Amino acid sequence: MNPNEQKLDYPLGERLPEPGRALGVADGVQWIRMPLPFALDHINLWLLRDEMDGRQGWTVVDCGIDRPEVRARWEEVFEHVLEGLPILRVIVTHMHPDHVGLARWLCERWQAPLWMTMTDYAIARLWSAPAPEDVEGGGPAGESAVRHFAQHGLLDPEAQRQIRLRHDYYSGLVPGMPRSFHRLHEGLAVRIGGRDWRVITGYGHAPEHASLSCPALGVLISGDMVLPRISTNVSVFDLEPEANPLPMYLDSLKAYDGLDADTLVLPSHGRPFRGLHERVAQQHAHHAERLAEVLEACAEPASATDIVPVLFRRQLDLHQLTFAMGEAIAHLHALYFEGKLRRSVDAQGVYRFQRV
């Protein structure tokens, strides 16, 4: 455990839900986990006891990716956790595959509506079912991603080949979306199980991420906006190549300032914890340190590929590398748009950033 993590309180200790089972974390709130085939090998999902239109059942928050083993794990949950009651509603915090992948399957299986922010729903619809003229779909893979990363110095032919082969990365994990949805938006109070859960939107990690705060329970479902052990990925990808998401992410964290210091945070990865304001402060400090390191590294012209080992001092697989590239560009853009770096294009067509 790192020093920052030791400053947080984990009320459940090392306890984790058993596969296909749930662990209660608050009144009417159950924690389940689903596997992921990445270095980050799990996602936390939440079941909220609910009633809609006179029917007793459950609201699900986030879904997991669409893989046979994840569907099988859900079948175990249906049998052993739901107490014979139906899923009444599916809430998705944002459009990343581990959160939205099985949304259509769950909604169709239970005839349950999807609740999601409009921006993330639209992107998920677009990327999961690309038009014929856009066979790449979307996400950090495919030919467009190759061009984007090459412009930022990733010229290695093997890396480019592997990224090109992953053109169906998103649609492979999210093969489709429900054709309708209920819109979540900032400040909306969603009535779940007789309690109001307030929507807090955030930016920088996803187009329009939705966290859910229930003051009556003292609980925050933070999604990916606040994680206890790892920093939230903030990236620039080919869909929006001139984006400046890092300031957006850090500004979004202000929305949690008014929550109680003792709030139980239910993150998408890692364990439930208390210490929300401490963790938010850690994120600000972390990115301030990384920005200072990037600025120092740009004493001479540097590309995002040059900056990746400055930010990530470990061996990265290709999946991790694409997100590391996105994060490196995000830090360079934050300094560039602030006027601390200038940008030029070298003879190979690669962006180079240098300290002003």
Mean pLDDT per block of 10 residues along the chain (356 residues) reads 86 97 98 95 98 97 98 98 98 98 98 98 89 53 90 96 89 95 98 98 98 98 97 95 98 98 98 98 98 98 98 90 96 98 97 98
DSSP letter assigned to residue 236: -
Q: What is the dihedral of CA 314, 320, 323, 326, to 10 degrees?
A: 50
CA-CA distance, 240 to 117, in Å (whole number)? Answer: 19
> Is 67 contained in some domain?
yes
What CATH code is carried by the domain that includes residue 100? Answer: 3.60.15.10
Q: What is each CA distance from 196 to 19, 48, 191, 193, 218, in whole angstroms?
A: 29, 12, 5, 8, 11
> Is 340 contained in some domain?
no
> Is 347 contained in some domain?
no
Give me the sheet containing 209-214, strands edge to edge. 189-192, 195-202, 209-214, 219-223, 264-267, 273-274
Q: Is 145 exposed, middle or buried (0-12, 13-18, 19+ CB in 10 A)?
A: buried
> Is 192 contained in some domain?
yes
Tell me whether strands 273-274 and 264-267 are parallel, antiparallel or unpaired: antiparallel
Q: How many domains does the chain have?
A: 1
- Tokens linked to 64: 């997991």
Predicted confidence at residue 131, as pLDDT, reads 54
Helix ranges restricted to H, 166-240: 169-173
Altogether, the residues listed in the chain come to a count of 356
With contact defined as beta carbons under 8 Å apart, do 307 and 235 qualify?
no
> Is 108 contained in some domain?
yes
Instruction: Kindly report the pTM of this predicted structure.
Output: 0.96
With contact defined as beta carbons under 8 Å apart, do 190 and 199 qualify?
yes
With contact defined as beta carbons under 8 Å apart, do 49 and 193 qualify?
yes
> Is 348 contained in some domain?
no
> Is 7 contained in some domain?
yes
CA-CA distance, 305 to 301, in Å (whole number)? Answer: 12
Predicted confidence at residue 204, as pLDDT, reads 98
Range of the structural domain that residue 203 is part of: 3-136+166-295
- Tokens linked to 251: 């500004």
> Is 71 contained in some domain?
yes
Helix, strand, coil abundance in the chain, percent, nearest 5: 35, 25, 40
DSSP letter assigned to residue 347: T
Q: Is 156 exposed, middle or buried (0-12, 13-18, 19+ CB in 10 A)?
A: middle
Helix ranges restricted to H, the chain: 3-6, 68-80, 97-100, 103-110, 118-128, 143-151, 157-165, 169-173, 245-252, 276-297, 304-311, 318-337
